[in-house]
Amino acid sequence: MTLLFLPAAILIFSVFAIPIIRYTWLSFHASSVLTRLEDIPNNGANWFRIFGDDRFWQDAYQTIRFTSISVTLEIFIAILIALLLDQKINNRGLVRALTLLPWALPTTIMALGWRWIFNTPYGPIEKIYSILGLGSLNILSNPDTAWLATIIADVWKTTPFIALILLAGLQTIPNELYEAFILEGGGKLNAFQQITLPMLQPYLIISLLFRTAQAFGVFDLIQVMTGGGPASSTESLGFYAYLNALRFLDFGYSATIILLTFIILIIFTLLVWLLTSRVNKLLKSEIL
Amino acid sequence: MKLSNLKNTIFILFIIFVFSSIVLAETKSPVNINFLMPAPFVDSTLDLVSRFNDEEKGKIHLKITKGPLETEAVSDLAISSLLLGKSPFDALLIDVTWLPKYAAAGWLETLDDRIKSNEWDSLAEGARLGNKYMGRIYRWPLVADMGLLYWRTDLMDAPPKTELELLNISQNLKEQGIVPYGYVWQGRQYEGLSCVFLEIINGFGGEWLSNSMKVNLTSKESLEATRWLKELITSGASPKAVMNFSETEALQAFKSGDAALMRNWPYAWKELQKEESNVKGKIGVTTMISKENHQPSATLGSWGFSILKSSTKKIAAFKAIEFLTSEEAQKEMFINNGYTPTKSEIFKDAELLASSELLPVLETALSISKPRPQTPLYAQISDVLQKQLSSILTEDKPIDEAMKLAEEKTIKIISSAGNKS
């Protein structure tokens, strides 16, 4: 019986454990252009450096900000979209396929698109703003607004993905439940609160965890849309790791960034999970 | 009967064998070499490459791998292939800033023995820069490239020469409502911002990094230069939007006639001459402004070929490089693409001079060009500077504080190298 698990175990080990072991090992070595890419043990110098690296912590803050805001928005909008797609509307198949389009687009292409949408002065948003006589917005040149623009682009792209998962969830809820609820004199809003949400809950948690992990590693969107600027205000941890590895050829430090990011992600995901189960308990106790 | 049949068969087989080996030996497959180039260069060298392959038919076959459009993306691709061990490429077309990094990593083959001293001397002075690391040649230049100031001949009689003139002209034209924007340049947080800064700090009499690796970012000149860049935006001489402009955005604004002045590379000239350009025939090119009594400067951004150490076909690769960088090839690329030649002879070519007003400007710009700091740690140093400059322009941090931070961090990066080497 245990033999049956072996292929899966080997697969998981090779794609998951090996990189982590390798990165851990690398993070205790100097391996950069200065060492001619040879790995030389450096007694944890990378780890001492990272705790004093204000840029790492600024990026950590920005990554958490990006992840929490975009994922929250995505979940709320996705619930609305899923409810809409669940209705019996004409050409439902076509509408569903169209909704998925943003998610199917390669990130690089859509990020380039958004870069032009937010472009000053030729982008449509700036054009409308200036036609209204309000001057110019300079969204991507302002550290206070550029990160919001990256969130908008991310929400636009990944909401359909969550909507799809939630739609699948909605379809598992038997209609009889609603019929019975209405018969008992319940309202539509109450039905949403007391049937839809609790029944959707496993799907919500899955999409939440999935998207959190994904958004945490954001790189391509940032790279294309802002290059991390202005004033590094949109830089993510993934971007910083990339800079160190491919631009600076400092693989030891890059591995350290990736590992610490991984640890922060685990803690963050645990927190999200704890929070959702707490909310969940509250919801259940209310219903009962 | 049977025996003679067998004999015949054997004889025929023998004849076939002999002939086929002769034929095979004749058409022995050529040496296949593979170069990686950024996409724009692939398009502009298409003819040259096919001509080379025709000339060397049966001996060498040059295949070009089309890299991405964006400079740093090409580097990412090259580095990834090098890290994986055996790179599929024999030579790379590399940017001036990558050379020390690649050479220090031990990826490049020195060209000292292949380049004769008279060939080296045939290069224009500025084109000699940025090809060496630790005194050895690692790169042979294909095109020179340097920052230029583009101006609108219909809006001003002469281009600005000093920082004050540039500020005044831009401000006046904008305030009179003649153009929406005065001066457009590259203010996005990326490599282009470092290029802009290098020109200005040099033109103000300062220095980013001295030859002995002393960091001069908090010098009086450096602070003045930075203050001027910021003033461009606060005074309205440049739009706020330049803080997110790369070359593309600057070119677009200038091309559509929305700006009076632009900082860009030589490639912009050809773009501005195209039919869809609103400023066709209304532009002049000159070198960057400088402070009164100071020499102007142009950031060097050249491209050249480097042979990889891992290549097993270095002789063939060098032959292809010689062909692609020959005087003839350079003339052709100048005429067709506006690429700046690297050989000094071409700048004196009467025929070219008669047909191009650009060539003398390119020669002057190349003669005052300065490379960015040549160290394997350049990417880090530039990244630190970009970040702080961007915080200054976006008013995230005051000038003194940001430049002090940039200086401290740069010193730290450089000293980390000192400890290990």
As averages over each run of 10 residues, the pLDDT of chain B (421 residues) reads 70 74 66 95 94 94 93 92 89 96 95 92 94 96 96 96 96 94 95 97 96 94 97 95 92 96 94 93 96 96 95 95 95 91 94 91 95 94 96 94 96 77 40
Write out the H or E segment, with its range, that includes residue A131.
helix A124-131
Residue B195 Cα, gap to closest chain A Cα (Å): 16
Under an 8 A CB cutoff, do B79 and A229 touch? no
User: Hey, is the C-beta of B233 within 8 angstroms of any chain A C-beta?
Assistant: no
pLDDT, one tens digit per residue, over A109-168 is: 999 999 999 988 889 998 898 888 887 888 998 999 999 999 999 999 999 999 999 999
pLDDT exceeds cutoff 90 at A281? no
Record the pTM: 0.88
Q: What is the pLDDT of residue B22?
A: 62
Write out the H or E segment, with its range, that includes residue B306.
strand B303-307
Report A:147-176 residues touching B (Cβ under 8 A): none
Residue A248 Cα, gap to closest chain B Cα (Å): 6
Residue B339 Cα, gap to closest chain A Cα (Å): 27
Provide, as residue numbers in chain A, all residues whose Cβ is less than 8 Å from the Cβ of B377. Answer: 33-34, 248
Provide, as residue numbers in chain A, all residues whose Cβ is less than 8 Å from the Cβ of B421. Answer: 34
Choose the closest CB to A143 out of B75, B379, B396: B396
Q: What is the pLDDT of residue B21?
A: 65
Residue A107 Cα, gap to closest chain B Cα (Å): 16
CA distance linking residue A92 with residue A71, whole number of Å: 26
Provide, as residue numbers in chain A, all residues whose Cβ is less than 8 Å from the Cβ of B83. Answer: 37
Under an 8 A CB cutoff, do A136 and B241 touch? yes
- Residue that the structure tokens 């060009």 belong to: B369
Under an 8 A CB cutoff, do B243 and A33 touch? no
Domain ranges of chain A: 67-287
pLDDT, one tens digit per residue, over B37-46 is: 999 999 999 9
Choose the closest CB to B240 out of A37, A141, A227: A141
CA distance linking residue B393 with residue B189, whole number of Å: 10
Check if CATH label 3.50.50.60 holds for domain A67-287: no
pLDDT > 70: what percent of chain A? 98
Q: Do domains B31-145+301-363 and B148-299+377-420 have the same CATH topology?
A: yes
User: Hey, is the C-beta of A140 within 8 angstroms of any chain B C-beta?
Assistant: yes
User: Hey, is the C-beta of A112 within 8 angstroms of any chain B C-beta?
Assistant: no
Residue A223 Cα, gap to closest chain B Cα (Å): 10
pLDDT, one tens digit per residue, over B278-291 is: 999 999 999 999 99
Domain ranges of chain B: 31-145+301-363, 148-299+377-420
Q: What is the pLDDT of residue B421?
A: 40
Q: What is the mean pLDDT of residues A173-177?
A: 90
CA distance linking residue A77 with residue A73, whole number of Å: 6
Residues B236/B171, Cβ–Cβ less than 8 Å: yes
Residue B244 Cα, gap to closest chain A Cα (Å): 5
DSSP β-ladder status, B31-37 and B60-66: parallel
pLDDT, one tens digit per residue, over A183-199 is: 888 888 888 888 898 89
What's the DSSP call for residue B311? Answer: -
Q: What is the mean pLDDT of residues A261-280?
A: 89
B148-299+377-420: CATH, from 3.40.190.10, 3.40.30.10, 3.30.470.10, 3.20.20.70 = 3.40.190.10
Residues A78/A159, Cβ–Cβ less than 8 Å: yes
pLDDT, one tens digit per residue, over A227-242 is: 998 989 999 999 999 9
pLDDT exceeds cutoff 70 at A63? yes
Provide, as residue numbers in chain B, all residues whose Cβ is less than 8 Å from the Cβ of A119. Answer: 244, 249
Q: What is the pLDDT of residue A87?
A: 87
Provide, as residue numbers in chain A, all residues whose Cβ is less than 8 Å from the Cβ of B387. Answer: 229, 231-232
User: Hey, is the C-beta of B417 within 8 angstroms of any chain A C-beta?
Assistant: yes
Residue A93 Cα, gap to closest chain B Cα (Å): 37
What's the DSSP call for residue B139? Answer: -
CA distance linking residue A17 with residue B25, whole number of Å: 52
Under an 8 A CB cutoff, do A119 and B249 touch? yes
- Phi/psi for B123 (5° steps) reads -75, 145
CA distance linking residue B186 with residue B188, whole number of Å: 6
CA distance linking residue B401 with residue B40, whole number of Å: 40
Under an 8 A CB cutoff, do A228 and B189 touch? yes
Choose the closest CB to B241 out of A121, A229, A233: A121
Choose the closest CB to B244 out of A141, A228, A232: A141
Class of domain B31-145+301-363: alpha beta
Reading the block at residue A151, the tokens are: 């969130």
User: Hey, is the C-beta of B70 within 8 angstroms of any chain A C-beta?
Assistant: no
